[in-house]
Amino acid sequence: MGYPDQRFDVNLSILFTELPLLERPAAAAAAGFTAVELWWPWIETPTPPQAELDALKKALDDAGTQLVGLNFYAGQLPGPDRGALSVPGEESDRFRANIEVAADFAASVGCTALNALYGNRVEGADPQVQDALALENLVLAARAADRVGAILLVETLNKPESPLYPLVSAPAAIEVVDKVNAATGLGNAKFLLDLYHLSMNGEDLSQVIKAYAAKTGHVQIADNPGRGAPGTGDLPLERLLDELKDAGYAGWVGLEYKPGDRPSAESFDWLPASARAAG
């Protein structure tokens, strides 16, 4: 049990950001990792030129890294936005324009998990209207994911850092997951269980794991406080990951933490080099 018993991947949108995007897969590989994940890398556009998509695929292939998770277009992230799919008007349109692009890219690199960030509440917009739009767009995304053999992820964020984001508890995200699955009949919508965000919300992490491991499609970790590497805060991450495994979760664990003042490559000292390559 413990960290060596997990399948870790590195989030290249928060780690190795001191490097250009196309150099990050090789940097992760040099640090011993064989799996990576990404937020949507083109924050300005949901539909980047094919040449840019091809270049990212080549960088992943050349490094020998497997992309195991990818966000759909989510607006300015990092930045003020927390997704686009529930934001009426232009942002919702951009999300829709991105659905097939993201799904096709995922298919081209063998990525089987697509994360759809819900989006913030908008001043002047009726929350019920936003939620109806969200369900409509999530159904489209779930069908696109299913077309390429992928799951659709719905993520809980934390209220202190994302005060306008409506999904700030595990049950809130699970309710959306259930609604999407009921609407599509596909069963491919899953919970993205981020232990850092849930801990920031003050949730009982062991209870969340017990209740929702079966509906969890992806896990992300960072320590708390600080969102740093495991061991920099107070979360018993090793024990919690063992609890997830005991509850039947056998998927990826994304390292979505800030490296602090040191280069990203030096932030993995908590994890033995022998445990970094995913089997």
Q: Catalytic residue positions?
A: 155, 256
Rounding to the nearest 10 degrees, give the CA dihedral for residues 101, 104, 105, 109: 170
Whether omega for the bond prior to residue 171 falls within 30 degrees of 0, making it cis, is no
How far apart are the C-alpha atoms of 27 and 24, rounded to whole Å? 5
What type of residue sits at position 214? A
Q: Classify each residue of 179-215 as buried b or exposed e, where b means 16 or more C-beta atoms within 10 Å of its C-beta.
A: bbbeebeeebbbbbbbbbbbbbbebebeebbeebbeb
21, 42 in Cβ contact below 8 A? no
User: Could you tell me where the DSSP H helices lie in 78-186?
Assistant: 90-109, 127-147, 170-184
How far apart are the C-alpha atoms of 36 and 11, rounded to whole Å? 6
How far apart are the C-alpha atoms of 174 and 167, rounded to whole Å? 9
Q: At a CB cut-off of 8 Å and minimum separation 6, what does 80 contact?
A: none
How far apart are the C-alpha atoms of 182 and 189, rounded to whole Å? 10
